[in-house]
Structure formats: structure tokens, C-alpha cells
Structure 1
Amino acid sequence: MMTRSRLFCLLTALGSAFMILFIIVYWDNVGTANFNLHTSFSKSLPPQSVEGRPTVAPTAENNVASDVDEFLDSFLNFGTTVGELQGTKTGKLPIRGSSSFEENVRGYDWSTKGKLEEAILEQEIIQQERKLNLRKFCENSSFVFPTKERSFDDIPNRELDHLIVDDRHGVIYCYVPKVACTNWKRVMIVLSESLLDRKGVPYQDPLQIPREDVHNSSSHLTFNKFWRRYGKFSRHMMKIKLKKYTKFLFVRDPFVRLISAFRSKFELENEDFYRSFAAPILKQYFNQTNVPTNVVDAFSSGTKLSFSQFIQYLLDEKTEEQKPFNEHWRQIYRLCHPCQIDYDFVGKLETLDEDAALLLRQLNIDSLFQFPPSYKNKTASSWEEDWFSKIPLSWRQKLYKLYEADFVLFGYNKPDNLL
């Protein structure tokens, strides 16, 4: 016969489980009507100290999201503290800092500063056209590409690692490498206050955040980390935040993005990409047996991967069979799932400054900082013909088919002059 104490424990557990489900269902069903999760910083509120580190003073709006998260975290024991997000056990944010070789080489272009106001209205109209184009082709049954028909629940957790979440402001950003993602990640770090500078306070200027810290996965809360926090409720919590938060991404002409990726990873001395890709490609496809073991020796001896060799590697069916495309040249639709996620804002690198100004205004954070400017030495669309001039026509046609969905979904014209 069950003792009173065991019965009491059972009833308590059942009651707690019911409360969790009640909170989730309530927030899911009526949260939009009652809660405005798109909060903004308040300069009039002084920071308060928590465990020796500064935090933003709580507001009624951002407490709603955080209270639900904290309750689920503590009860389910799937909680991820700030310290765990950063890979520490103390709960304190790490202090970081160093310079970036690539950013020093390319520099920044400040020429557009102060020239954006007149473009805002026009960009709002363009923004609506981009979203309509995206929905049109996602709903067009005659336009088919891999993964298009699957539901959000069908997307494997490992493919959700590009969706960065900021609960403080109700923002979700899907980052696409080679589309200003370094600076947008910097913005997300400033908004979420997920990193401290050397003085022990959250970064306020995106450009002050070192590049290597920006691309450290521990600096961001992404969808694929929700399993740690919410356990079996994680997919449901993703859907809640997708429903209520502002979701945005930035895209780029697919062929120009490929050129940019090649320039960044193979024309500069990048040890990781040399060892992981350049050296194996040269050995496998071009029978170069005496390939240098490191990138410095390779560049000194003139051993470099050519653009045509890179394209041949992409077109080989065995490439995808052995390992999915690296994120720097993986198709955008595979990174951000635009037919499964209804994005509120679709920016383009070709109009980065105008789009960034508009988005910051729509998020109510344009008074906090200016979006970092573009690189001076940025890969341009006009370079396409020169870069593809030595690529066989049949290869170009196959390459277009490989990236066709990105061209169509995001409104880029088919490059007929190359095809």
C-alpha cells in the first residue's frame, strides 16, 4: 500500500508537470496578445550587479520570457546558465580580446555614413517585395528543390545551428557566412549581452568585439542548443519563439558569395581551410603527392588551390556523399530553411547599409549604435565574368543548378551571360 509521503510526492510531481504544460500552452496561445517581447535598452536605467557582473535592469516585458525559461530550466534540470553557454562553471562571462588578420587586410568603408535616411522608405517597399517573392516560390508546387517539402519538425537539430536567439529583444537571426555575418553576430552579442569586455562590462560597440570571439559558438544561444535547456519541450519552445520573435536573415548573389568564400578561405593564409580542404583537394583531384603540410609553406612554394579546382570539388557528387558542404559555400536555403520559417526581414548584402539601417529602426535599436560598415575590398558582382571565364560552360550550368533555389527564392536574376 502506498505510504502518505510517496503519495504526496507523486501528486506534487504531477501538479508540477501540469503547471509546466499550462505555462507553455498559455504562452503559446495568448502570449502575442498580452506580451510585447520586442524590448529595447533603456539608457535611463542603471545596470544592477549580479554575482559581480553588470546586467541590464529588468523590465516587465523581458521578465516574461526569462521567467518562463528559468522555471523550465530549474524544474526540468535542462537549464543552461550563462556560464555553461560560455563553457565555464562559474556563471561569469569570459574576458576576451585580440585582432583579426582578415579584417585588418580588408578594412572598413565608412563612406556611406550619414547617407541612409532618404533610402529608408524605398527599402520598406523593396522589403515587402522580397518577402512576397519568397512566399510565392515556397508555395509554388512546380518549383522543386531538396528539403522544400519537409516541415519544421523534420529539420534535424544539427541543421538549426545557424539560428541565433536573443530573448532580451525577441530577435532570431539566421546567419549566412560571407554575407556580413561577422558584424551581424556582433550585433546579436551586444543585444544579448553574452560577452564582457576587459573591463567586465557587456560590449556596447559591435566593432569592439574581436572576430575570433564572434565566431566562437559559445558566444551565442542557437536553436540546436535548446535540447540542453528544454529537453523534450525544446521543439515546442522553438516554435513559440519563431511565432513571436522578429526573424531576419541576409542573403547574397550565390555566385558572388562563392567567389567571396574562395578569396577569404583560400587566397589568404588560412591554416584550417588549407588543411581541411585545399590540401586534400589537391591530393585527391590533381595527384599532387608532395603537398606542403602547412599553409605558410604552401604559399611560399606557390602551392595554392585554384578557383576552377574549387568548383570541380563542389560539382563532384562524392563531395556531398562524404561530408555536407562547409557552411561558407552551403546553399542558403539549407542554412536558414526559408520555406519552413516565415522570415520578417530579408536583407541583401548588395543593399547592406540601407537594409541594416531599416532593420535596426524596425527593431527599435537604431539609437544604440550604427551597424558596422562594409569592407573596402568587398567582392563585387562585376567580378563574376572574370572569375568564371576559365570555368567550362558545362560546369557553370551544373553549378547554377546546384544553387538555383537560392537564386530564385531570394530574387537574383539568372546569370544568362555565364550560362
Structure 2
Amino acid sequence: MARQEEEVLKVAPYLQRLLRHWLAVCLVLLTTCTTAIVISYSYSSAIPALDSSRKAAVSPYAPSVDPRNDDVSEDLQPDGQNLSQRFPQSVGEMNSGRDGDPDNRFMQEQALVQLRRKKTMRDACRRQPLIKQEERYAARFFILKKSKILYCALPKTGTTNWKRVFMVLEGFRPNVENVSFLDANVNNGFKEVPHSSLLRQILNLNTYTRFVQVRHPFARLISAYRNKISGEATRSGQDPKFTDISLHIVRKYRRGAEGEDFNPETLRVTWDEWIQYLTDPTELSRFDPHWREMYKLCLPCRVNYDVVGKLETVESDSKFLLNYLDLKQLRFPTSRPLFHHGIDREDKELLEHYFGNMSTRNLQRLYNIYKLDFELFGYKTKPVL
């Protein structure tokens, strides 16, 4: 018995060392696994997840992809899908009739444009993982049940004409020519998304085409100023809320606004006063949707848009969307046929007129406010900056 106890005592130190060794190994493994889980969770939380559910394709059009071309590489392809998966008709079948079908060529070219725009948005979202997504603006989204479209209506980007088109698609009007401005914006019959929880449910639907149209951020500010702010406060048809905003701007930024010479009946907000208002940090949270940052209204880092249109290229973009939906008989109503290097000529002239003499300081302050709109939607500051 004594001998057995002696042998046990000899082995005990070895067993203790072995036990400590295995405990140390287990502790290292546990720490490594925990760290990996934390990093994975932090990474997935930091980068906004794009909705991966995709609708059954409603268009046969797919651009041919040359893997040697960096501009149309696999990185351009949405949601990890290759183009033959995104569009059910094979690329080879599409290419076989490409040379003889102008519509076919047009759709393939425009599909590549869309892929590039969406890649630009995804890249910007990854660079800015903490972009604020204001779901309180869910009412900017319209549900078009008949045509299966989820449309984010950004003010001052051509929304009135798109609403005319959608009223025809939904069967509310026989043609776009019969749709007045009032009908398009007030009596359109569209169902708005009433709250953010319903919006989140809709974004998971795989049967709707998600569409948004944007515009050069500074051109949009000019349009808002000319259409909503710069005119006489009491002009016929002016929304009272814009009259109130105009009065607020003048009283806050104009010297002697409350003096004897101040006449609110003939009020005109100057461009300089408008810029002071836009760059005033105390006013940012109260911006009206007509000049609020586009990314805050249409959630580009949360909504995986199928089609991203631009007002500057509305003719080709509208043709693409309507053909994409197999609605070739419809045409977008536009009186802006002339374009110049990606910026509509009228907008380019207005940009030069309003921004040409602006101080560098004010230009930079204004750009900093709308910087994410420039980056997300691929706009350049030239010829302004």
C-alpha cells in the first residue's frame, strides 16, 4: 500500500503539469473563438447589409461581360450573383442577336450603367458605415401594386413626371398628357408607406422593382430655391409652409428685416441668404425634403435599388426602366432633351450662374453638407468647385 502511494506521488506532478497544459490550450482556443465572433459581429454591424433577396427577373436583358475588363468585372455584379443568374436568359443567347437589334444593344449598355451606379453606391456605403438612415421619411416611398414598383420620390428630381407615368401604369389615367401637376402630386391615388416598420417588410419582398431617381445635389438646391423660396411670398399657389420658411430666412439673415422698409408682401429671399440658411448648423435638422440630403430620404445603404435613374440622363434611364418592365409603349414626358457631359445644359448654366461667384468658404461648407450625396450617386463637383 505504501509503495502504491509512493508511485502515485511520483506521477502526480506530471499529471498536474499535463492538466495545466491542457487548461492553457483550452483557454487560448476559447479566447480566439470569442475574439473571432466579436470581430465578425462588429464588421457585419458596421457595414449596412443590402437586401439580398432578389425578385424574379422581369427583363431578359443582360450585358455581355468581358472578364478582362476591370470596369465590368465580377465586383460589379450585384449581391454576389453573376449576370446570367441575375437575368434568366443566357448571355450567349443575348449576344447572338446583339448586332442586329438596337434595342438589345441599348438595354445591355444601360444594364452596365446600372451596375456601375449600384457599385458606386455600395462602395460609398462601405466607406461610411455609420451613415444615418432616417426611417421617419418612409412616406417618401410609394407602393405601386399593379406595376409592382417601390418608388422613392425625391423632390426636385423629376418626380412629377414619374408620377404621371406611374398613374398611367396603375390605370388611374389613360395617358400622361391628361395628368395635371395637381393630380400628379396630390390626387395620384398612390399608396404611401405610412411607417418604417412596413417599409422594412416591403424591402424584403422579392417581387417589386425598387426605383429611385436622383439629381446633381447643387442643381437640386437651385431648383428648390427658384421654385419654392425666391419668388414673392404671396404668389398665387405658393404653399404656406414655404412662405413661412422664406420669412424665417429673411428675418434671421437680413439686417434690418424688421425695420420700416420691411414688407413681407413683396418678400424675396436672396441667393446669399439662401446659402446662409443652408450652411447654418442650427437649421440642418429642420431641412424640408425639397433640399434635405437625398441619402437621408431614400436610404441607399439599406434599399438595394434595382434601377437608379438620374435626371441628367432621364431620357435613356426612363427608356431603360420602361423596357425593363416590358412597357415599351410608354414614354417619359420630358422637355429637357439636351445634355452636356452628364449634366443637363440648363442645369449646367444655372450652376455656373449661381455658384460661379460664390466664395470658396461657402462652397466648401455647402459641399460638406451634401458630400455623401455626391459620393453615393457618383456626382462630381466640377464645374462648380
Quickly name the TM-score band, shorter chain normalised: 0.5 to 0.7
Q: CA deviation at 1:355?
A: 0.6
Q: CA deviation at 1:281?
A: 0.9
Residues 211 and 307 in structure 2, CA contact (< 8 A), matched pair in contact too: yes
Residues 279 and 291 in structure 1, CA contact (< 8 A), matched pair in contact too: no
SS of the residue corresponding to residue 282 of structure 2 reads helix
Structure 1 match to 2:75: none
Q: 1:179 to 1:357 in 2, by over 3 A?
A: same
Q: CA deviation at 1:398?
A: 0.7
Asked if 1:132 is matched to 2:119, the reply is: yes
Q: 1:134 to 1:146 in 2, by over 3 A?
A: closer
Structure 2 match to 1:222: 192
Larger Rg computed on CA atoms: 2
Q: CA deviation at 1:185?
A: 1.2
SS of the residue corresponding to residue 372 of structure 2 reads helix
Q: CA deviation at 1:191?
A: 2.0
Map of 1:247-286 to 2, 5 A cutoff?
A: 247-268=210-231, 269=235, 271-272=238-239, 274-286=242-254
Post-superposition Cα deviations, 1:145-194, rounded to whole Å, max 9, x if no partner, equal 641xx6xxxx53x311111111112111111111110011122222223x
Q: Percent identity?
A: 29
Determine the C-alpha separation between the residues in 1 that align with 2:213 and 2:275. Answer: 24
Structure 2 match to 1:245: 208
Residues 161 and 222 in structure 1, CA contact (< 8 A), matched pair in contact too: yes
Q: 1:378 to 1:208 in 2, by over 3 A?
A: farther
TM-score by length of 1: 0.60
Residues 308 and 390 in structure 1, CA contact (< 8 A), matched pair in contact too: no
Post-superposition Cα deviations, 1:82-121, rounded to whole Å, max 9, x if no partner, equal xxxxxxxxxxxxxxxxxxxxxxxxxxxxxxxxx9997544
Structure 2 match to 1:362: 324
Map of 1:152-301 to 2, 5 A cutoff?
A: 155-156=134-135, 158-193=136-171, 202-216=172-186, 219-224=189-194, 234=198, 237-241=201-205, 243-268=206-231, 269=235, 271-272=238-239, 274-286=242-254, 287-289=256-258, 291-293=262-264, 297-298=265-266
Determine the C-alpha separation between the residues in 2 that align with 1:120 and 1:387. Answer: 36
SS of the residue corresponding to residue 309 of structure 2 reads strand
Q: Which structure 2 segments of 5+ residues have no match?
A: 1-52, 60-101, 338-343
* Matched AA of 2:319: A
Residues 37 and 168 in structure 1, CA contact (< 8 A), matched pair in contact too: no
Residues 183 and 207 in structure 1, CA contact (< 8 A), matched pair in contact too: no
* Matched AA of 1:168: K
SS of the residue corresponding to residue 178 of structure 1 reads coil
* Matched AA of 1:353: E
Determine the C-alpha separation between the residues in 2 that align with 1:261 and 1:185. Answer: 19
Q: Which structure 1 segments of 5+ residues have no match?
A: 1-29, 39-114, 194-201, 228-233
Q: CA deviation at 1:311?
A: 0.9
Q: 1:239 to 1:266 in 2, by over 3 A?
A: closer
Asked if 1:320 is matched to 2:271, the reply is: no
Q: 1:119 to 1:307 in 2, by over 3 A?
A: farther
Q: 1:217 to 1:308 in 2, by over 3 A?
A: farther
Determine the C-alpha separation between the residues in 1 that align with 2:310 and 2:216. Answer: 9
Post-superposition Cα deviations, 1:240-283, rounded to whole Å, max 9, x if no partner, equal 33x33100111111111111211222344463265222122111
Determine the C-alpha separation between the residues in 2 that align with 1:308 and 1:165. Answer: 39
* Matched AA of 2:311: L
Determine the C-alpha separation between the residues in 1 that align with 2:144 and 2:226. Answer: 31
Structure 1 match to 2:350: 383
Q: CA deviation at 1:375?
A: 4.7
Q: 1:208 to 1:411 in 2, by over 3 A?
A: same
Q: CA deviation at 1:411?
A: 0.7
Structure 2 match to 1:122: 109
Q: 1:328 to 1:172 in 2, by over 3 A?
A: same
Q: CA deviation at 1:219?
A: 2.8
TM-score by length of 2: 0.64
Q: Which moved more, 1:306-315 or 1:184-193?
A: 184-193
Q: How many residues end up aligned between the 2 structures?
A: 278
Determine the C-alpha separation between the residues in 2 that align with 1:326 and 1:340. Answer: 22
Q: 1:221 to 1:378 in 2, by over 3 A?
A: farther
* Matched AA of 1:288: A
SS of the residue corresponding to residue 318 of structure 1 reads coil
Coordinate RMSD, CA, aligned: 3.1
